[in-house]
Structure 1
Amino acid sequence: MSKTIIVNQVSKEYQRYDAHRPTTLQEAILKGLRKIKPVEKFKALDNVSFVVKSGQMVGVIGANGAGKSSLLRLISGVGRPDRGKVEIHGRIGALLDLGAGFHSDLTGRENTYINGVISGLTRQEVEDRFDSIVAFAELENFIDNPLRTYSTGMRMRLAFAIAVHIDPDILLIDEVLAVGDMAFQEKCLKRIAQFKEKGCTILLVSHDIEQVRNLCDEVIWLQKGRIRAQGLSNIVVQQYTNEMSSETIQRTPVDMPVAVTTAGTELRVNENRFGSMEMEIVSVRLLDSLDRPVTQLTSGDPLRIEIVYHAPNLIEMPIFGVLISRDDGLVCYDSNTATAGLEMSSVQGQGYMTLQLERLDLNKGHYWVDVGIYEKNWSYAYDHHWHVYSLQIHSTLNEKGVVCPPSEWQIVKSIEPQDTVYLYK
């Protein structure tokens, strides 16, 4: 198997500036040019080496500031390493950030042609693929509007559509799948799977650990600009989540008093409650279609989960998550605000979040609803309630399996013996 990406002892430094530096020429003149001098240098990447073989899909994980985006930028050719070398063999399709390569005053059509040519296509090749690009992006009614009128999700759809239509040998994806609606995310994931089947080399940066585990052959874990671990996806992801759990346990205050839920369940730290408690879950309610608290539902009923929180101090971009598991530990549903594309602003004080499930098509049985609030990089939990909220699902159907969606068997028509097609003779 040939080597498509070779990163050899790569290091990259950037300047760190004062947060109060001038942002305009006028401010710089009034405050003095000395104010815009860098405060210090920091290493975004420090002696990073790895090889990605042709046809592999490799995930890159780590906290914000670990060097993930810097790495993809160097591989794509946006910038050069201070030390070391990056070798690329093949055409690159890159989704680095939503503003890269786009001009806000130009239309979607004009940006498509410019990006296509920059990516290595001829104008005629862009012309031949234009309708397919627009259809994939679902922007038929907006393609001649200026890009400044596009939402973040619309920009992402256009960027992804262009990248996958240049027939890349190497596809670089940096977190953009976290933006946009769930239906388009699924569409993107299907196209990525198709590229993988065709032998395209894919490098994926994501905070969605389960997505990385399920899609990628190998994973690189970056920590403070260095490779902390590299290998098979299951092994490295488990190492990463173990460290996250360890960090959460270390931050959990041991002297936290016992709390009691509205249902009378005791919350005890390091038993069914974990987290730093910098931001607390005040209450959780499972509600039916009439907003009544429930512990039992019929399969197919709607469920609304209400989470009341309190943050004594300012918390930057917390992530809210809900997981529903069966009594035997099987995960039946797992969702969070990050993968749903809902970016939280900084919060302080008390508020509440809701998650609406229009149909809960689980089979009959007993389930647990786990609820948590997590640090913006998934480094640890602020407050996580495990096996606290009980839910019993009833059903008159005698189906097997985890889900029990509405279904109906039908005999469409009988087949005469002479019309029977035999698969095996």
Structure 2
Amino acid sequence: MTLLVVSNVGKAYRTYRSEWQRMARWFYMPIKATEEHWVLKHISFSLGAGEAIGLVGQNGAGKSTLLKMITGTLQPSEGKVQVNGRIAAILELGMGFNPELTGRQNVYHAAGLMGFNVGEINGAIDDIEAFAEIGEYFDHAVRTYSSGMQMRVAFSVATAFRPEILIIDEALSVGDSYFQHKSFGRIKEYQKAGTTLLIVSHDRGSIQALCSRAILLDGGTIIKDGPPEEVMDYYNAIIAQKENSVVEVNTLADGGRQTKSGSGKASIESVTLYNTEGAPVEYIAVGEDVCLTIKVKINVQLPELVVGYVIKDRLGQDVFGTNTHHLKCVRTDLQEGESLSYEFRFPAALGVGSYSVAVALHATDSHIADNYEWRDLALLFNVVNMSKGSFVGLAWIPPTVECK
């Protein structure tokens, strides 16, 4: 069942010579605006029951404007939004809470605006208070709350009744780690029960953990819609993109989509994983000592080169990453035509599964500053358990145990 359909939606902000002309436009009179600025243009997508979509993009891409049109607090200038179900949305911190009212009073007010009657709210108020976990502050004025406390109450009331569609706009980034884990638990519980999720976040981990699909907005239009890992890789490349940079997406032999970006001032020639005998490997044992070798070609004279890598799990979530800046091994004054080989040695203390390696060549401590080349899925390898005891998880952290 399709719960949300966004069809060719656009939003323009217009300036008129007078307020009378603006009012005349409300009645469809042919009045031309003196200025017209389109924030969104030609936005189309749909959401099915139980689907989870991440909406990503840089600040100013139009994400919040799109959510406001979906929730009905803003009308589109063109196109149509069709919603088939009840929406619960946390678009702004506090959900319009009155700072002079208590948390409890604001819950009744907010839930009432969501369409619930007093009897329904009475039946849920104890659960809302318990989930928020702010103690006696629940009956204190909201103006005395920290931003994290406001978030706790806002999320608790927005999710007190399972909605057909749950929309969250970066709100959970305000909460503490404990409440974030608790909130994600409720979100996943609702997902299993059929709630559709639309989440806006810059947190790659959240998008890939919760979503089966991601949409990338840039310049007010959708430029990518697909698997979260692929979209987030492309988003990462867009962030690092500079005037002389390029972004490429290539299809690998196994069907995976590899994103490559950078200015090309330096390039990755090869990425290989070797065992202790110096043989290239695709399968390694849990805890086995390995050497990740990255060969680099310098294409123009460079004042500095930093080489980094990130190991990712099969969902594209970061497992471990570092670079030569943090390892105190930065090369400077490099000449055109030089070739370098970097060897990173470590024990593969990883859980059983498939992994990928992303590699970056850049200046300073981050590829955001001057991205020479960033390559996702530069290497794929598998970890198997050949000699260790049974365990689960992404990391092999063998303990000792003592019972007293």
Q: TM-score under structure 2 normalisation?
A: 0.60
Displacement of 1:55 after TM fit?
Answer: 1.1
Q: 1:119 and 1:383, CA in 2 relative to 1: closer, same or farther beyond 3 A?
A: same
Displacement of 1:50 after TM fit?
Answer: 0.9
**Per-residue displacement from partner, 1:137-189 (whole Å, max 9, x unpaired)?**
11122011111111111111111111111221110010012112111111111
SS at match of 1:85: strand
**Per-residue displacement from partner, 1:294-314 (whole Å, max 9, x unpaired)?**
xxxxxxxxxxxxxxxxxxxxx
Q: 1:139 aligns with which of 134, 137, 158?
A: 134
- The alignment status of 1:158 with 2:153, answered yes or no, reads yes
- The alignment status of 1:49 with 2:44, answered yes or no, reads yes
SS at match of 2:134: coil
Displacement of 1:237 after TM fit?
Answer: 2.3
Matches within 5 A, 1:367-378: none
Displacement of 1:235 after TM fit?
Answer: 2.7
**Alignment check: 8 A CA contact 2:8 2:78 kept:** yes
Q: What residue number does 1:185 align with?
A: 180
SS at match of 2:100: coil
Q: 1:109 and 1:7, CA in 2 relative to 1: closer, same or farther beyond 3 A?
A: same
Give the distance between the partners of 1:130 and 1:154, measured in 2 at CA: 17
SS at match of 2:369: strand
Q: What residue number does 1:93 align with?
A: 88
Q: What residue number does 1:9 align with?
A: 8
SS at match of 2:138: coil
Q: 2:211 aligns with which of 209, 216, 223?
A: 216
Displacement of 1:246 after TM fit?
Answer: 4.4
Q: 1:382 and 1:15, CA in 2 relative to 1: closer, same or farther beyond 3 A?
A: farther
Q: Percent identity?
A: 35
Displacement of 1:323 after TM fit?
Answer: 8.9
Q: 1:39 and 1:58, CA in 2 relative to 1: closer, same or farther beyond 3 A?
A: same
Q: What residue number does 1:395 align with?
A: none
- The alignment status of 1:71 with 2:58, answered yes or no, reads no
Give the distance between the partners of 2:134 and 2:236, measured in 1 at CA: 38
Q: 1:409 and 1:93, CA in 2 relative to 1: closer, same or farther beyond 3 A?
A: farther
- The alignment status of 1:250 with 2:257, answered yes or no, reads no
SS at match of 2:139: coil
Q: 1:405 and 1:97, CA in 2 relative to 1: closer, same or farther beyond 3 A?
A: farther
Q: What residue number does 2:378 align with?
A: none
**Per-residue displacement from partner, 1:46-105 (whole Å, max 9, x unpaired)?**
121111111100110110110111111111111111111111011111010104321111
Displacement of 1:234 after TM fit?
Answer: 2.8
**Per-residue displacement from partner, 1:1-34 (whole Å, max 9, x unpaired)?**
x110011111112369xxxxxxxxxxxxxxxxxx
Give the distance between the partners of 2:173 and 2:266, measured in 1 at CA: 31
**Per-residue displacement from partner, 1:311-358 (whole Å, max 9, x unpaired)?**
xxxxxxxxxxx99869xx9954579xxxxxxxxxxxxxxxxxxxxxxx
Matches within 5 A, 1:261-276: 270=266
Give the distance between the partners of 2:119 and 2:349, measured in 1 at CA: 54
SS at match of 1:189: helix
Displacement of 1:373 after TM fit?
Answer: 6.5
Larger displacement relative to structure 2 (234-243 or 66-75): 234-243
Q: 1:166 and 1:175, CA in 2 relative to 1: closer, same or farther beyond 3 A?
A: same
AA in 1 matched with 2:8: Q
- The alignment status of 1:126 with 2:125, answered yes or no, reads no
Give the distance between the partners of 1:407 and 1:90, measured in 2 at CA: 52
Displacement of 1:404 after TM fit?
Answer: 2.1
**Alignment check: 8 A CA contact 1:11 1:45 kept:** yes
RMSD (Å), alpha carbons: 4.0
Give the distance between the partners of 1:39 and 1:152, measured in 2 at CA: 40
AA in 1 matched with 2:99: S
Give the distance between the partners of 1:111 and 1:213, measured in 2 at CA: 33
**Alignment check: 8 A CA contact 1:98 1:159 kept:** yes
Q: 1:242 and 1:384, CA in 2 relative to 1: closer, same or farther beyond 3 A?
A: closer
Matches within 5 A, 1:268-307: 270=266
Give the distance between the partners of 2:232 and 2:319, measured in 1 at CA: 20
Q: What residue number does 1:347 align with?
A: none
Q: 1:83 and 1:325, CA in 2 relative to 1: closer, same or farther beyond 3 A?
A: closer
- The alignment status of 1:408 with 2:395, answered yes or no, reads no
Give the distance between the partners of 1:73 and 1:373, measured in 2 at CA: 37
- The alignment status of 1:171 with 2:170, answered yes or no, reads no
Number of aligned residues = 282
Q: What residue number does 1:232 align with?
A: 227
**Alignment check: 8 A CA contact 1:91 1:169 kept:** yes
**Alignment check: 8 A CA contact 1:119 1:166 kept:** no
**Alignment check: 8 A CA contact 1:323 1:331 kept:** no
Structure 1: unaligned runs, 5 residues or longer: 17-37, 252-268, 273-321, 336-361, 365-369, 375-379, 387-397, 413-425
Q: 1:189 and 1:385, CA in 2 relative to 1: closer, same or farther beyond 3 A?
A: farther
**Per-residue displacement from partner, 1:181-235 (whole Å, max 9, x unpaired)?**
1111111111111111111011011111232123211111111111111122233
Displacement of 1:250 after TM fit?
Answer: 3.4
Q: What residue number does 1:312 align with?
A: none
Q: 1:203 and 1:407, CA in 2 relative to 1: closer, same or farther beyond 3 A?
A: farther
Give the distance between the partners of 1:58 and 1:381, measured in 2 at CA: 26
SS at match of 2:65: helix
Structure 2: unaligned runs, 5 residues or longer: 16-32, 247-264, 269-307, 323-347, 351-359, 374-387
SS at match of 1:47: strand
